[in-house]
Amino acid sequence: MAQSNSEVFKKFGKTYKPGDIIFKEGDIGNEMFIIRAGKIAITKLSRDVETTLAILDAGEFFGEMAIIDNQPRSASAKAETDAEVIILSADIFESQITTNPKLIMRILRKMSNRLREADGKIKTLLYRDNSSRIVGTLMLLTQKHGEPQVGGGIKLTTTFVTTELVGMVGLPKVKVREILDSLVQARVMEIKGDIVIVYSLEHLERFMNYLEMKEQFGDS
């Protein structure tokens, strides 16, 4: 009989508090992790600036690459909230791979999605202009985490936007908020208390095109 989720957690699980480090970039990895509850931030240090690559939710997994290719961890992982994580050793992972074809497909799909997201993030980080970087990253967040509203627009929370956006673009929170306020003035989005409403991805794309033209041809 298959073990229940609680039995698996009792055997292989560990709890973390916000800010707890699960592993650091450069560590030798011989375990992978499955999130049972809470959120985990995947971060990378570049030029002494910590950038958030992703914030993972319950049901998602991470750390599998280090036990697949036997290379040091390519990023760090830390608890964003109180979290419960199931930790699987390399031996257990390998046994699951050989006996569970569905797990292989799930990992391949997740890796493919992460590569696509990484490609989009790399493109936004290549922008020299801060506004372009923020708008490009906001487009990625809206596509991935936005909730379409019945009356129109796509909803995000301000806490989510400012926290993840600041981490991903590596800019001070004050600067990020300043640029978000300029998007409100440009009627691309609105902020209502703790809620951000992006009018549409098309609005963001048009504003991005405007920024690209402005950078190319100048203000004159």
Instruction: State which amino acid sits at residue 208.
Output: M
Domain 5-123 homologous superfamily, CATH: Jelly Rolls (2.60.120.10)
CATH of domain 128-217: 1.10.10.10
Q: What whole-number distance in Å separates Cα of residue 35 and Cα of residue 23?
A: 14
Domain extent listing, the chain: 5-123, 128-217
The count of other CB atoms within 10 Å of the CB of residue 132 is: 20
Each residue of 153-192: pLDDT tens digit?
899 887 767 777 777 777 788 888 888 898 999 999 998 8
The model's pTM is 0.53
Contacts with 84 (C-beta within 8 Å, 6 or more apart), sequence order:
9, 13, 14, 15, 16, 35, 36, 37, 38
Each residue of 14-67: pLDDT tens digit?
999 999 999 998 888 888 898 999 999 988 876 566 777 778 888 888 888 777
Max CA-CA distance within the chain? Answer: 72
Contacts with 176 (C-beta within 8 Å, 6 or more apart), sequence order:
134, 162, 165, 166, 169
